[in-house]
Chains A and B, each alone.
Chain A
Amino acid sequence: MKQANRAGRFFLVPALLIIAFVLLFPIIQTIVLSFGRNSTSIFYDYEFAGLANYQRLLRTPRFITALNNTILFTAVTVPIELVIGIGLALVLNRQFRGKGLVRMAVLFPWALPTALNALMWRWMFNTEFGLFNSILTDTGLAVERVNWLGAIPIAMASMMFVSIWKTSSFMALLLLAGLQTIPDDLYEAGSVDGATRWTAFRHLTLPLLRPAIMVSVLLRTMDAMRTFELPFNLTDGGPLTSTETLSLYSYRAIFQYVNFNLGSSAIIIQFIIIMAISIVYIVTLRRADQ
């Protein structure tokens, strides 16, 4: 038995080494760089600067704007996605003809790569040639073209709309899996006891769906806090920095200003925030289980 354990551990070594190489090393490098000055690697010319980068970040209005944008984006999109996701999941969970086709259609937005998705929407939002403005002006609903991506705050709203369109289906998929674990006889028993559809939903579906809801909200929150491809391809963070997210800010600090240290500390702050949110979720989830 002990022999087998040792052999098992031995077989894990290559996998662990690979993980350490591709995962652990960049994390350590990012942490170390976030405390450095004018350094691009931990192997040469490293100079320790203490908390200087963090102090500078907190005094940088642009970073604060990016932080606010990210939180606003997450706080608006995730709840809406959850509501739409539950709705879609309830529909998909019913028996009807062509269910497979509808499920596929619902999954389609999620299957599209975000970057491609953003470029597609950029065309539809285009002020001069875009689909939306031509519908609005052709039908006479609007006289002036709407500057979807070029005005504050409508650009942020447009970006949120694209995110909701895309990721509601992801929510629906996770929630559908949760719905399918709820046995039908519970509903039968409920209807014998005189439960209406609404009370069944309120007192049966929602409590039983709770773990699936928590997991999907957690995953989406972490994802939304890291949003990068969407602003990068849709608005480029503009106008001004009104749609610039934390990830986009860090990317710019590193690759445009070649300030690896400032960018790394922005990433670490983002990491701490996401970790804190995750811990809150997990603790709540565990309490609910008990």
Chain B
Amino acid sequence: MFSKRISVFIASLVLGLFLLLPATAQDSVELTLSIGARGFGDAAPVLIETCEEEVGGISVEWERISDVPNESRSIYVTNFTARNSKPDIIAVDVIWPGDFAARGWIAPIEEYFGEEALAEYIPGFLAAAQVDGHTYAIPLYIDAIHLFYRDDLLEKYGLDVPSTWEGLIAAAETVVAGEANPDLAGFISMWAKIEGLFMNWLAFFQGAGGTFFDMDGNLAINNEAGIKSLSTMVSMLESGVAPESILTFRPNDARLLFQQERAVFLMVQDFVLAPLTADDSPVKDAVEFTRVPYFEGKDMTNTTVIGGFLLAVNKHSENVEAAADFIKCFTSYESQVQAGLIQGKVPTRPAVYDDERIADEAPGVAALGANFVYAFARPSAQTGTAYPEISEIMQTEISAALLGEKTPAQALADAEAQILSLMP
């Protein structure tokens, strides 16, 4: 008798729970945010909670996606070609919006923001997400390229921080010769055949006065600036300023070598600043950074290659408006201050760099901001769906020159021919 009553009680409890569950779920719009666990780190749960409260009526689930752009992109390709309505909000690499928008995978969201609100973001970055007058993504954080250097070594040999490539090569040679340590490299970077290699060459190229497309929108790589930039990279390898192994380095490989006190100069993305200055880092007191160099006489050129992530809305999402509201909060002034303080994320709103809290507690973040005056974006918005293939062609041809398979002039001519055959 007693046990029967208990089982009836349990049964009604279970039934009641089932009735309750959908009721609570229906109260709020459920959104899924897909962003890397390392990329936004500890700032993600904090900002999600804040924005759930601020926007109201939404509950956001965090889908932790790979931080390797090519891996997460593969997942998005599968997901979007299947016209899946989830995830609602995705973090997109700065080179993706043109491609994704042209394929009809992400929704235009400018109407939920308005011109005034959009003007608060760094224009050079926002431009990467603007196609035919529509805005398809909102800048979340910057991960640009900077030149990191060993301040202690430069000081030891009485050298100034180089601002030109000529100066950098001379400084690297002086330090390496003076130290006489076979394990010490002059300059390291990410010259494996990856997107980072294309970014690297673009930085050299812009620093020589080149631009990927000229004023009329024509491809302009096979010229004096192109050959000068590529030849300089080749000669750095040949003279030993850059070690041969640089050709297998991705950003983190280069960072590891620098962190182990085995390089004078390191040119990679800003994300290395956090590990390089961490308490357990052997170089934490010796590492400083400056803007990417330019060639002598070209001091008016922009050489800071912009990287980083934006937030976009899945075109097949059932709640585009709620998703846009969430993005508005997630990229707001206050949110970016928090992301800078918690995770060292570099803000996409110029105003945040002047915030007192950032200046006091995250001076590194504030200092990086100063160099975005020299920022430029990769040619991804203009090239749309062709960008991945164009980048791959450039990576292959640059590698061919670095490996000595082709002369720089031949590699650029071949790249030009292949890219022109892709463009309508």
Contacts and interface: CB of A to CB of B under 8 A. Distances in A.
Contact of B248 (A41, A150, A152): A150
Contacts of A127: 243-245, 248
14 contacts: A126-B248, A127-B244, A128-B245, A129-B257, A147-B245, A150-B244, A150-B245, A237-B193, A238-B192, A238-B248, A239-B403, A254-B77, A255-B73, A257-B392
B74 interface: yes
A258 B248 contact: no
A95 interface: no
Contacts of B161: none
B396 interface: yes
A80 B412 CA distance: 40
B323 to A, nearest CB: 23
Interface residues of B, number: 29
A278 interface: no
A255 B77 contact: yes
B399 A255 contact: no
Nearest to B254: A128
Interface in A100-146: 126-129, 145
B111 to A, nearest CB: 27
Contacts of B388: 256-258
A17 interface: no
B389 A257 contact: yes
Contact of A240 (B99, B253, B389, B399): B399
Contacts of B194: 236
B122 interface: no
Interface string B60-95: 000000000010011001100100000000000000
B85 to A, nearest CB: 16
Nearest to A254: B77
B81 A40 contact: yes
B263 to A, nearest CB: 10
A237 B193 CA distance: 9
B277 interface: no
Contacts of A145: 244-245
B77 A147 contact: no
Given A255-B74, A257-B388, A240 B193 contact: yes
B392 A152 contact: no
A170 interface: no
> Chain A interface mostly helix, strand, loop or mixed?
loop
Contacts of B245: 126-128, 145, 147, 150
Contacts of B134: none
A256 B244 contact: no
B103 A238 contact: no
Contacts of A126: 245, 248, 253
B405 A240 contact: yes
A256 B248 CA distance: 21
Interface in B367-385: 385
A131 B247 CA distance: 19
B193 A258 contact: no
Given A239-B247, A240-B403, A252-B392, 16 more contacts: A40-B81, A41-B81, A126-B245, A127-B244, A129-B256, A147-B244, A150-B192, A150-B245, A150-B247, A150-B248, A240-B399, A256-B70, A256-B73, A257-B392, A258-B77, A260-B81
A128 B403 contact: no
A151 B388 CA distance: 24
A238 B246 CA distance: 13
A149 interface: yes
A239 B262 contact: no
B195 to A, nearest CB: 10
Interface string A247-266: 00000101111101000000
B81 A128 contact: no
Contacts of B341: none
B409 interface: no
B68 to A, nearest CB: 11
Nearest to B250: A236
A68 interface: no
A252 B70 CA distance: 10
A240 B403 CA distance: 9
A250 to B, nearest CB: 13
B112 to A, nearest CB: 27
Interface in A220-258: 236-241, 252, 254-258
Given A152-B403, A240-B405, A128 B77 contact: no
Contacts of B262: 128
B103 A258 contact: yes
Contacts of B103: 258
Given A150-B248, A258-B103, A260-B81, A238 B193 contact: yes
Contacts of A252: 392
B400 interface: yes
Contacts of B248: 126-127, 147, 149-150, 238-239
Nearest to B188: A128
A150 B256 CA distance: 18
Nearest to B244: A147
A219 to B, nearest CB: 28
Contacts of B392: 252, 256-257
B247 A147 contact: yes
Nearest to A240: B399
Interface in B90-111: 99, 103
B192 A236 contact: yes
Nearest to A127: B245
Contacts of B74: 255-256
A152 B402 CA distance: 12
Given A149-B248, A255-B74, A236 B193 contact: yes
Nearest to A40: B81
Nearest to B392: A256
A264 B154 CA distance: 54
B243 A128 contact: yes
A255 B77 CA distance: 6
Interface string B235-246: 000000001110
Contacts of A236: 192-194
Nearest to B396: A240
Contacts of B389: 256-257
Contacts of B253: 126
Contacts of B81: 40-41, 258, 260
Contacts of A257: 388-389, 392
Contacts of A147: 244-245, 247-248
Nearest to A130: B245
